[in-house]
Amino acid sequence: MISRRELFPHVIEMNHQARQRLGCSVYLIYDEADWLLIDIGYEDTAEEIVDLIRQMNFALSSCRYLICTHADVDHIQGMKRAQELLPSAKLLGHPECKLHLAGPDRIITFAEIAAQGISIDLPAIEVQQTIEEGDVLSLGSLKIDVWTTPGHTPGQLAFKFGKLLFAGDNLFRDGSVGNIDAHHGSDIASFITSLERIRDADVEWLLPSHGPVFRKEPQMVQKTINRLKEYQHMADFGTCAVDWPLLDEWEEELARGTMPE
């Protein structure tokens, strides 16, 4: 048996536990014998993660849930293998996640990005129970609130547990956010709303899906919100923007016959 390295009471992060980067953040929450996993990462580390859990003296038969924060391949490619290793667990995800993994949709999940030569194997994965805003997960005596926080994807979920928020790809310690891409279903206005909710929530710590856990600082969150608000009015993100004021300015300059200065 190896010692459990809790980040907070009832919470272990598997990269932190292993003291090496295994992939996306994989959170284990437990109470007494019952436990769950939030995300699993790529298939090639799924067995390593489950073996590490076994070495921490968790009974594999006591895994209640496998949870998808969203359908991105770097978060869920290993879920099918995890289901084989943890057959007593129920796989949970947002209805959009269930839809995109059933196919699976290789574009929305980022399994296929032809322009960058990315083509990743992604088996069809069955989400056995859908969860969304307002649902509450019970784990032993613990209660975990489900939030739907769209923006990065329509089906992005976050999970509030006391003063902790398992924030998915909403926000990272450097102030960056999950990829904004029209082919991914991203929506900047929704992203801003989700970040405003996180900014105003009574949580103290953000546990993201990539990188280190960090203390929530409303000023930092607001800085990110301000940047995304600017994105809505610039060409940087194409059809994810709501308008492009420069073209209105150009039209006025054309009507006036303005010459370059």
Rounded CA gap, 147 and 48, in Å?
29
pLDDT at residue 204 in the model: 98
pLDDT in tens, 209-235: 999 999 999 999 999 999 999 999 999
Rounded CA gap, 94 and 98, in Å?
6
Whole-model pTM: value is 0.94
* Both tokens assigned to 191: 């992203």
- CA 208, 84, 38 angle in degrees (round to 5)? 15
pLDDT at residue 94 in the model: 98
For the chain, residues with pLDDT lower than 70 are: none
Q: What long-range pairs does 130-133 form, CB within 8 A, spacing at least 24?
A: 130/92, 130/93, 130/94, 130/95, 130/97, 130/98, 131/67, 131/92, 131/93, 131/94, 131/157, 132/94, 132/95, 132/157
CATH architecture of 6-256: 4-Layer Sandwich (3.60)
pLDDT at residue 76 in the model: 96
Rounded CA gap, 119 and 110, in Å?
9
3-state secondary structure of 114: helix
pLDDT at residue 43 in the model: 96
